[in-house]
Structure 1
């Protein structure tokens, strides 16, 4: 991961935390899902094995009954006894075996041996049952020691349910057929669930889903746990279905003897619920831990890193309004951030020292500049006074030349006077400066029959570097006209064109023949950054537009 993509310290630390926590969360989720699937598979396997266990118990019982029937029938056939003598001997044997109710044996020669300990089981009814069972499919035994195919069933005969075990001997020369009728209660121990069944219910079901034997705790007679469906998916021994009581339950079925005697087991959903809770605990607890870790980590970043960095940033930004602001240095600050804060404060202290030194030097420089300008202004006034005194000793052209020079010196003196009016260098108002220049032209250059006026309509200001050449330009044009045209009246017009442009124009009261300006005139126009908007023509002596900052 390229942490440089994140601009802030907080973002980079958070990205690093996510880069660490995300794989851990994925591995935790994978482990939780794997564990859940393993536990569910173990539960399903346990349920299937439970059904297998009860099926094996039932098969063992039936095979035991089949072996007892085959052994007793073979013994009777070997002795060759039949009729009443045989029945009396077999009846005595039945009395010694609880649960065995009737036996019917048919020898190879057709003679029968019948015995019953239940008066409801007569020889005729048992013979009819034997004929009925003989027409039904056999159940072969699936063991390495083969037993003859037999028929296991439950029937209602003599007003009660009976377990039937019937065998037909196809290859035996002495015994043809044998049948045993037993009490269903003999399977009671086979279906004993034990003290902790954990919601397990088991039943032995025959053709038509008749329940031969079942167990359920705590209510043994309740059959509402059996599935609603009439057919069980015996090939896939486990499934989920709705019970007769309307609840979803897990079932497992195993065929005991073909084709229609099988064990059905039902299981509660407590193990699945426990597995789901375990899955949620394994999944959510680590993720919540990671989230809590992220929150604590972010809190720690904000409190022990970002908080102090923002304090230094706030101090730096407050320097513009609070010159003496310093970064806070607290005892609980991290040492590296404290070092940064101390270096920042040291830098501010050194900066303030440099600023004080610079300010002192600047004040001294301003004082020197102000003094220099005052000296220049005073010197100009001295020069102007000296020219004025000298002018008294001359007449005609010499006097006019000295007056012209005195006017130009006054332009310089007036410019410095206005720009230093408040003790500091500042822009000069054009209207005040032009008014002063017009007054000086009136006093120094014009004759008695001439007149100089001004029409000022502006609040613009210009720097001293531009106001001086503007004064020179006005004096130059006015001086050339006044010296060449007796009795002329001049008007100096200054007005605003727009917010950033003003226009300076000179007009006479009569048409004046234009004269070529001196070579320095173009330099004055360039220094003012002026653009001539009208050439001298007729009464108009010229106009210039000057851009300024309001």
Structure 2
């Protein structure tokens, strides 16, 4: 997959950016975690600040009640003076709905805002009678879906008077409306059963507060889903009442800034890293790879064409590549000269070999001619003595004549060689060509000269008896040769009477040639001989065979 130089460089660059990518990702994630923790801490701080403002209302009420209980002159001694003075206090403190003063178990006076319901604005007398000196008592009455009334009663030290103050629910609701950290911010006061008792204009829809929210002492954070959205809730118990302040904010609003920070802290360095990687890749491609590819193309052109190749390298290329290109040009030039010298030497050697084969052919033809002249000078009964060497010299001469006529020195085509050998043997035997039938398949099959000579000599040992029989009996001789990639098959069919006198004196030569060729000879029936000779790469190699003790 990564076999080319370009792909390996790309792989190295990709591997090189993995560590910084991991470091950047770790730093970005740590930064996101810190920003998220800071946002949640800020959210808790805002909720705690709102709770402290709401706790300030009963705290101020307890101080006011203690002051009225302790200072008799502030409330006066009669109900009219008491009502007038308390009315001034109600008008100046919007956090209270009503104030009542009790003297020894008897209500001295009371005042309340018009918006407050008189029947539920004051603490019951039974809960005020048993107040001890210096005691402050708080309570919520009529809690539930309709809301609740928050009141506080206090009695100063060494005082017979008790003062009850009712907190304004509308004022508490206004404080809830102030809580607007995000557009999705919501706040509500709930009781111990998680039921809303004070809701502002921005308080959430009914049922938004999960009933299973744990009401803890102190600040708590919880995440829950409502209407398909994730909300983060803060739960904080007020110090003065058994009431919990619950706030809700969309998780997407709270974590928008940390997520944006994560995106910026991760994506921006990644983009810079990828930009640097791309710049490095362009630099490597322009400064290194393009020149490497140019040298590669020149090398391919040289290997494809085989001739001298000059690398066309831009002079603006790095000096090292110019040196490589110059060295390559020098090398290809030297190789071209060496190839020319080798081709010239091969041509000369081929010519020398052809000349050698030509002279061998001529010498063999001279020998054959001398044998023929000598044979004619002998009587008919003595001519057979020279017939044996004449046939073999003619067979060998036919092989060298065929290879000389072919441009491939050292290789012989089977078809022309077989024809030449048979025609010469026919001339020596005096057999008519009409009495001979030759069929050759695969004439273009070539064999080495060292293989062609044993084949020709084997034909010279077998065919003369068939040709002599054809001269005397008139039975034609049929020779069929099939040459293919696997080997050579020769089938000779002639006079059945030739069998008793075949292979008389030349049997040792026939067996030697068969061993040299790795061939087999089969006499299927009288007058029919089959020779199968493998011509594969191993069988076509020259062999040295001893014939009568001579190699």
Please state if 1:34 is matched with 2:27.
Answer: no
Output aligned runs, 1:181-220, within 5 Å. 181=166, 193=178, 198-199=182-183, 205=189, 209-211=196-198, 214=200
CA distance in 1, matches of 2:150, 2:499: 152
Deviations 1:316-355 (A, max 9, x none): 4444542234544234545545544443333322221111
Q: Closer, same or farther in 2 for the Cα pair 1:538/1:343, shift >3 Å?
A: same
Unaligned runs of 5+ residues in structure 2 are: 541-551
Distance 1:177 1:344, change over 3 A: same
Q: Is the 8 A contact 1:446 1:452 kept in 2?
A: no
Choose the corresponding residue for 2:439, options 457, 460, 466: 457
Q: How does 1:530-549 map to 2 (within 5 A)?
A: 530-534=519-523, 539=527, 543-548=530-535
Give the C-alpha shift of residue 362 in structure 1. Answer: 0.6
| Structure 1 residue aligned with 2:488 | 501
| Residue 323 (str. 1) matches residue 306 (str. 2) | yes
Distance 2:467 2:113 in 1: 165
What CA distance in whole angstroms lies between the structure 2 residues aligned with 1:94 and 1:248?
A: 47
Q: CA deviation at 1:357?
A: 0.4
Q: Which residue of 1 aligns with 2:15?
A: 19
8 Å contact kept, 2:489–2:533:
yes
Please state if 1:254 is matched with 2:236. yes
CA shift, 1:107, in A, is 3.5
Structure 1 residue corresponding to 2:54, chosen from 18, 37, 58:
58
Deviation at 1:356, TM superposition (A): 0.4
Q: CA separation in 2, counterparts of 1:276 and 1:55?
A: 29
Secondary structure, counterpart of 1:130 in structure 2: coil
The answer to whether the 8 Å contact 2:153/2:163 transfers is yes
Contact 1:133–1:166, Cα closer than 8 Å, also in 2: no
Comparing 364-373 with 198-207, greater Cα deviation is found at 198-207
From 171, 176, 180, the counterpart of 2:165: 180
Change (3 A) 1:468 1:96: closer
Q: Could you tell me which of 259, 265, 283 is aligned with 1:276?
A: 259
State the SS of the aligned residue for 1:329: coil
State the match for 1:150 in structure 2.
Answer: 137
SS of residue paired to 2:531 = strand
Q: How far apart in 1 are the matches of 2:47 and 2:384? A: 139
- 1:237 maps to 220
How far the C-alpha of 1:501 sits from its partner, in A, is 3.0
Residue number in structure 2 paired with 1:517? 505
Shift of 1:305: 4.4
Is residue 2:457 matched to residue 1:472? yes
Quote the residue 2:546 is aligned against.
Answer: none
Judged with a 3 Å threshold, the aligned counterparts in structure 2 of structure 1 residues 154 and 328 are, in CA distance, closer, same or farther, namely farther
Classify 1:286/1:226 alpha carbon distance in 2 versus 1 (closer, same or farther; 3 Å).
Answer: farther
User: Which residue, 340, 344, 352 being the options, matches 2:328?
Assistant: 344
Aligned in 2, Cα 1:137/1:239: closer, same or farther, shift over 3 Å?
A: farther
| SS of 2:332 mapped into structure 1 | helix
Q: How does 1:111-150 map to 2 (within 5 A)?
A: 111-114=106-109, 116=111, 129-131=122-124, 134=127, 148-150=135-137
1:44 and 2:40 matched: yes
- In 1, Cα distance between equivalents of 2:255 and 2:496: 117
Name the CA distance, whole Å, in 2 between partners of 1:228 and 1:510.
123
Deviations 1:222-255 (A, max 9, x none): 5457873386754163445678x99765443433
1:27-68 CA distance string (max 9 Å, x none):
222222222222222112112111211222232342222122
Normalised TM-score (structure 2): 0.74
Aligned counterparts of 1:544 and 1:34: Cα–Cα separation in 2: 90
Secondary structure in structure 1 of the residue aligned to 2:306: coil
Which stretch has the larger CA shift, 343-352 or 427-436? 427-436
CA distance in 2, matches of 1:106, 1:532: 147
Do the aligned partners of residues 132 and 419 (structure 1) sit closer, same or farther apart at CA in structure 2, a change above 3 Å counting?
A: farther
Counterpart position of 2:361: 377
- Alignment partner of 2:91: what SS? coil
Deviation at 1:360, TM superposition (A): 0.4
Cα distance change on mapping 1:333 and 1:120 into 2, 3 Å: closer
Where 2:100 maps in the other structure, the secondary structure is strand
Alignment map for 1:327-406 (pairs within 5 Å): 327-396=311-380, 398-406=382-390
Look up the match of 2:396. 412
SS of structure 1 residue aligned to 2:313: coil
CA distance in 2, matches of 1:168, 1:41: 45
Would the alpha carbon gap of residues 507 and 406 (structure 1) be closer, same or farther in structure 2, given more than 3 Å must change? Answer: same
Check conservation: 1:329, 1:342, Cα contact below 8 A: no
Is the partner of 2:500 in helix, strand or coil?
coil
> What residue number does 2:92 align with?
99
Classify 1:135/1:95 alpha carbon distance in 2 versus 1 (closer, same or farther; 3 Å). Answer: closer
1:271-310 equivalences under 5 Å are 271-294=254-277, 297-298=280-281, 304-310=287-293
Asked whether the equivalents of residues 403 and 409 of structure 2 are also in contact (C-alpha less than 8 Å), the reply is: yes
Q: Cα–Cα, structure 1 residues 394 and 82, in superposed 2: closer, same or farther, change >3 Å? A: closer
Secondary structure, in 3 states, of the residue corresponding to 1:22?
A: helix
Residue 120 to residue 330, structure 1, CA distance change in 2 (3 Å)? closer
Q: Residue 142 of structure 1 corresponds to which residue in structure 2?
A: none
Superposed displacement of residue 419, structure 1: 1.8
Aligned to 1:217: none
CA distance in 2, matches of 1:478, 1:163: 139
Distance 1:264 1:443 in 2: 128
Whole-angstrom CA distance in 2 between matches of 1:430 and 1:201: 104
The equivalent residue for 1:218 is none
Cα distance in structure 2, aligned partners of 1:478 and 1:127: 145
Higher mean C-alpha displacement, 356-365 vs 50-59:
50-59
- List alignment gaps of at least 5 residues for structure 1: 139-145, 215-220
